[in-house]
């Protein structure tokens, strides 16, 4: 499948190859969202923590596989994610990073080479962008693809299972769909457990603690048509939120919507 789409600085370039996407990002030419890029390949959310926080976070992911499907973990101090592709450097291969210090956002940067230390461990958590190409191929239109938006994300009252200092509410992503497409989407996304799998909720946003569906906590608003229903998936921003609440001395994450694109085929990722 060949994808032609507009990036911030590159017009009409082939972005179907994950290595080409990472090179574009590494060169500083695509700082934005990665929805629709390298379709058919696993994308991931990032959490980087000091080594003494790593084991509790690992346990948190194990206890919460729906919002935190763990697909890659670096060796301590090694920024190369050897299991996720050829020359995947976590310091440069995401378009935009958030840097938190003691739970407060202190900077947003385009690479973290100056911040990386020999004590750090990087975690990559599966992303719903992984299954979106399958939805589109299955005849389900995605509004944020069509309008070049960042998917809507919301904080909810769905509690995760705590581990050590980590816990709190789940974050979800939302895609408006017709009722028929929502049913089909459940069938399709069940094949992608490492991309959050099936939805966690369909319908009334208030039931999961969302007060205004038109005002996402992260990402862009989307229009829900009269013949559509909001469909919510567990989101990989959940671990970012819980880490911020735990307040480690430093934590580095992706900026929501700006993911790591790996060389792992999305179907192959399901067997990892």
Q: Spell out the per-residue pLDDT of the chain, length 272, in tens.
A: 333 333 444 444 557 889 888 988 898 887 777 877 888 888 898 999 999 999 999 999 999 999 999 999 999 999 999 999 989 999 999 999 999 999 999 999 999 999 999 999 999 998 887 788 889 999 999 998 889 888 999 999 999 999 999 999 999 999 999 999 999 999 999 999 988 999 999 999 999 999 999 999 999 999 999 999 999 999 988 988 898 899 999 999 998 888 899 999 876 444 44
What does pTM read for this prediction? 0.84
Query: pLDDT at position 41, please?
Result: 87
Cβ atoms within 10 Å, residue 204: 11
Cβ atoms within 10 Å, residue 191: 14
- Distance, in Å, from the CA atom of 259 to the CA atom of 214, rounded to the nearest integer, reads 24
Domains of the chain: 4-128+239-267 (3.40.1640.10), 135-237 (3.30.2040.10)
Query: pLDDT at position 14, please?
Result: 58
Q: Note whether 51 and 30 are within 8 A (CB).
A: no
Query: pLDDT at position 33, please?
Result: 79
Strand 97-101, strand 260-265: pairing = unpaired
- Distance, in Å, from the CA atom of 57 to the CA atom of 169, rounded to the nearest integer, reads 15
- Distance, in Å, from the CA atom of 161 to the CA atom of 171, rounded to the nearest integer, reads 13
């Amino acid at each position: 499948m060949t994808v032609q789409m507009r990036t911030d600085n590159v017009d009409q370039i082939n972005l179907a190859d994950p290595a080409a996407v990472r090179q574009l990002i590494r060169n500083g030419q695509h700082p934005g969202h990665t929805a629709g890029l390298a379709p058919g390949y696993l994308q991931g959310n990032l959490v980087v923590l000091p080594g003494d926080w790593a084991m509790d976070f690992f346990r948190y992911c194990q206890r919460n596989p729906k919002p935190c499907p763990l697909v890659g973990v670096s060796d301590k101090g090694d920024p190369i994610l050897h299991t996720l592709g050829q020359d995947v450097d976590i310091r440069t291969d995401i378009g935009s990073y958030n840097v938190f210090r003691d739970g407060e956002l202190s900077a947003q940067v385009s690479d973290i080479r100056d911040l990386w230390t020999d004590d750090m461990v990087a975690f990559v958590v599966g992303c719903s962008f992984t299954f979106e190409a399958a939805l589109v191929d299955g005849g389900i239109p995605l509004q944020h693809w069509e309008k070049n938006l960042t998917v809507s994300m919301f904080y909810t009252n769905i509690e995760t299972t705590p581990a050590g200092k980590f816990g709190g509410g789940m974050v979800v992503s939302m895609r408006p769909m017709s009722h028929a497409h929502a049913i089909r989407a459940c069938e399709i996304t069940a094949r992608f457990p490492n991309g959050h799998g099936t939805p966690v909720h369909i319908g009334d946003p208030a039931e999961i603690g969302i007060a205004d569906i038109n005002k996402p906590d992260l990402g862009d608003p989307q229009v829900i048509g009269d013949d559509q229903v909001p469909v919510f998936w567990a989101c990989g921003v959940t671990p970012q939120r819980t880490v911020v609440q735990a307040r480690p001395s430093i934590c580095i994450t992706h900026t929501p919507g700006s993911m790591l694109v790996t060389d792992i085929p999305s179907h192959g990722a399901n067997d990892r």
